[in-house]
A and B are shown apart, each in its own frame.
Chain A
Amino acid sequence: MNIFDGQSYFSFDALSLFFLFVIFVISLPSAVYSFGYLKGEYSSAKIKLSWVLLALFILSMALVVTVSDALIFLVAWEIMSLVSYFLVVFDTTQEKSVQAGTIYIVMTHIGTAFLIAGFLLMHKYAHGFGFAAIKNASALMPAAVRNITFLLLLIGFGTKAGIVPLHIWLPYAHPQAPSHISSIMSGVMIKTAIYGIIRFVIYILGVDSFWWAALILILAVISCLVGVIYALMEHDLKRLLAYHSVENIGIILLGVGLAMLFLAAQMPFLAVFSLIAGLYHLVNHAIFKGLLFLCAGSVYKATHTRDIEKLGGLIKKMPQTSVYFLFGAMAISALPPLNGFVSEWLTLQAFFLGAFSFSGGAKLLLGICAAMLALTSGLAAACFVKAFGITFLAQPRSRHAEEAKEVPLSMKAGMFFLSALTVIFGLASVPIVKLLSKVSGAATGISVSGMRFSLNNFILSPQIAKSNCLSAFWLGAILIALGTTGFIVYYSLRRKRPVIYQTWDCGYYKINARNEYTATAFSKPFRIAFSFFLLPYRKTQKIRESFYHVKSFAYETHTTPVFKKYIYDPVLALVFKSAKSMRRIQPGSIHLYLAYIFATVLLLIIFMHKF
């Protein structure tokens, strides 16, 4: 293959343009944010390095979503992985960063290995790496080869996307990078894997078997639940957000998987609609997760801790950051009228419409998935009540939190832009769905000109006859009206003079920040409810002076990392064991090494005519 033969290796179809938009709409505010964020944290040489890496990172992602040749795609993919690795280990002084980087680079290369295998398999039938050639050849592939290719691609892209159980690197790597990079990684980079699945599985291979879709749906549901349950248990603000990325990738994949199901069942309208839901959630997640990571970065910048048990009371010290965080938290918890609500509503609608048009097993599967999605968004809301409440409300729990100050303008500008977008993408849902229908049509190869997803410019309605419709705009207007009324009523009826008095403390005296509600306490009911999966255990230690007087009491609670303990640790142990046994053929004797060469030459000569 000659790269310079004048042929174009880029394609800017609707799908690529959509992803380009997502990349730049998140990268831009993050870059602005990094002006303030990096200042004072790193030396000036390191800040320059971070700009170079950031530019490379954005460029490589843009390349990934626009090339139309599998080989160049791989190169861009690899550049993206390597640059993001360097950004994860940017804080080289911290042992944890290096460790997280190692986990990340190992996992991402395992994924790339599967991708290469998949691409080579496709190349065998297409005799080229161009997308068009592969697309033409995919019809000629035998069913078994198509299935294997699908599985290879799913594992390859799934590793990058963070599908459970391949998510293991995500909660380590994302929090360790500088916050504006976390925001891009979580908001955009893992979405390139979704692009890969849509481009290679839906657009190029074409879905014709139901089990592909069923597999993706099941993995997606598991990712949703596992992500949100782990997030509930997390005290590290950025790791909590990283686990929510696992959850949201699950929600996006629910839309994508549904689209595949409907494609296999020859239902073009629903396929386009589900893919719209998936893509809508994709851009929404990019916006609010980017926003939340930027807010978490501001909190870190102000307090230099990410442990929410040590925070609290920040709403008074950093009022603007708290408001932005609240916007992000409401959006990710799918509260109307923000953007997360619209896309989750669309996904749920797609499930219901699908459940009504199938019968038997598929109906059951879709019903269960819809129920799990509802459970997930409930748990996500609970998790953000915890994250917001413990971080921003009540009294400061440590000196770090007490001394916090509001962050500089450039950081606030980045956060403001993204929180404005959460509102805009919620209210302007109808035109956005219209645009997305074009993207979805381009990806699935279905003509969307006759399809209508809305009544007029304000009301979304996938099925006009059954009158299930949503107008985020009017909903927002009603909510604002109700809120304003409530506020007016409160103001007109409230006591005129405020009374300042201590909190009633059940007869205790000297209540301080230590007595406040903690994140651990908040998540206890969930720990008990999901104990079959989390396997919590606790350690208590009492030091007594006498039988009646306990001098100190230490209490620790932990959850068992199931995937690490039962999947990754055994695999790692096996690798190390086999490496050790391979070491035996390397005893350091020159004679033996010569003998290896000799034996190889002899064998080759004896069996020469066989090859």
Chain B
Amino acid sequence: MQTLILFLILVSTYLMVIAKRMPALIRSFRYQSFFLFWITLGAAFAGGHAELYFVSALILTLKVFLIPSFLNRLAGKIKVDENLGLFINAQLSLIFALALTYCSWVFSQTLNFTPGSFQGTAVTVSFSVIFIGAFLMIFRMKAFTQVLGLLVMENGIFLFASSVYGGMPFFVEIVVFFDVFTSVIIMGLFVYRINKLFTHIDVNKLSRLKG
């Protein structure tokens, strides 16, 4: 069951890679966070830790409802075209994403887990999520994707911590959540400001500001 959810997380990440428009991207992120919530809940059932219940509830409220709806509202407010501006087209991006997954699989082999165990798979998945988050930040033009890419990377790190090492200390977890939440708000404001000032949110064009 847990392995299946891991697989679903991977699929939702691939969906983000091939997404061309903002709403699609946000929707996929919502799926990913939802599966992450399931995994955490499963771990809470298995281990019986009270904190993990709390953390999974936080994931549900923040990452599944609040942040995506905030981003959706922002996307609506900006009212520029919803295209993400792809440096690399969807098909090629998918090939890249697969290659990154392979890389993280090779990497997970170097960490001595028993072959085929849940943890080995979790390492592969979480690392490919982190890589693909970075990939999104680099190969999409709009400032919007930089925000989402960071969130995806955070999801990957959370997955790594919770599935491989049974979660970070509770307080660290809480702090990270609030960090993520505030950073989303701040970056959202920035994106909004950039749009107001330059009438676009194309980060690629910011290189003109260079001295």
Contacts and interface: CB of A to CB of B under 8 A. Distances in A.
A608 B203 contact: no
B87 A591 contact: yes
A594 to B, nearest CB: 5
Given A598-B134, A598-B135, A591 B107 contact: no
B195 to A, nearest CB: 16
Contact of B207 (A588, A601, A609): A588
A606 B134 contact: no
B210 interface: yes
B207 A606 contact: no
B198 to A, nearest CB: 14
B103 A594 contact: no
Interface string A592-610: 0011011001100110110
A594 B209 contact: no
Contacts of B137: 591, 594
B14 interface: no
A465 interface: no
B31 to A, nearest CB: 24
B210 A588 contact: yes
A219 B208 CA distance: 53
Given A598-B135, A609-B110, A590 B206 contact: yes
Contacts of B107: 605-606, 608
Interface in B113-169: 127, 131, 134-135, 137-139, 141, 146
Nearest to B100: A602
Contacts of B131: 598, 602
A587 interface: yes
B204 interface: yes
A587 B106 CA distance: 33
Given A587-B207, A587-B210, A605 B139 contact: no
Nearest to B137: A594
A94 interface: no
Nearest to A587: B207
Interface string B67-94: 0000000000000000000010000000
B204 A589 contact: yes
B60 to A, nearest CB: 30
A591 B136 CA distance: 10
B36 to A, nearest CB: 22
Contacts of A598: 131, 134-135, 138
A588 B209 contact: yes
A515 to B, nearest CB: 57
A527 B209 CA distance: 55
Contacts of A589: 204, 206-207
Nearest to B140: A591
A587 B210 CA distance: 8
Contacts of A597: 134
A607 to B, nearest CB: 11
Interface in A550-603: 587-591, 594-595, 597-598, 601-602
Interface in A14-36: none
B103 A591 contact: no
A588 B206 CA distance: 8
Nearest to A589: B207
Contacts of B104: 605
A210 B118 CA distance: 69
Contacts of A588: 206-210
Contacts of A587: 207, 210
Contacts, number: 43
Contacts of A608: 107, 110
Chain A residues touching B, majority SS: helix
Nearest to A597: B134
A597 to B, nearest CB: 8
A602 B127 CA distance: 11
A594 B134 contact: yes
Given A598-B135, A602-B131, A590 B103 contact: no
Contacts of B207: 587-590
B138 A595 contact: yes
Interface in A516-554: none
Contacts of B138: 591, 594-595, 598
A202 to B, nearest CB: 52
A605 B103 contact: yes
A608 B111 CA distance: 11
Contacts of A601: 134
A606 B110 CA distance: 10
Nearest to A595: B138
Given A605-B103, A606-B107, A591 B210 contact: no
Contacts of B87: 591
A591 B134 contact: no
Contacts of A602: 103, 131
Contacts of B106: 606
Interface in B173-211: 203-204, 206-210
A608 B107 CA distance: 9
A591 B142 CA distance: 10
B154 to A, nearest CB: 15
A288 B39 CA distance: 85
A606 B139 CA distance: 21
Given A602-B103, A605-B103, A606-B107, A591 B139 contact: yes
B110 to A, nearest CB: 5
B143 to A, nearest CB: 9
Contacts of A590: 146, 203, 206-207
A109 to B, nearest CB: 27
A587 B127 CA distance: 29
Nearest to B207: A588
A606 B146 CA distance: 25
B100 to A, nearest CB: 8
Nearest to B208: A588
Contacts of B210: 587-588
Nearest to B107: A605
A601 B156 CA distance: 15
A590 B204 CA distance: 7
A420 B96 CA distance: 84
Contacts of B127: 605
Given A602-B103, A608-B110, A609-B110, A591 B135 contact: no
A94 B204 CA distance: 45
A609 B208 CA distance: 41
Interface in A429-469: none
Nearest to A598: B134
Given A588-B208, A588-B210, A605-B104, 8 more contacts: A589-B204, A589-B206, A590-B206, A591-B203, A598-B134, A602-B103, A605-B103, A608-B110
24 contacts: A587-B207, A587-B210, A588-B208, A588-B209, A588-B210, A589-B206, A589-B207, A591-B139, A591-B141, A591-B203, A591-B204, A594-B134, A594-B137, A594-B138, A595-B138, A597-B134, A598-B135, A602-B131, A605-B103, A605-B104, A605-B107, A605-B127, A606-B107, A608-B107
Interface of B: 87, 103-104, 106-107, 110, 127, 131, 134-135, 137-139, 141, 146, 203-204, 206-210
Cβ-closest 3 pairs across A and B: A588-B210, A588-B207, A589-B207
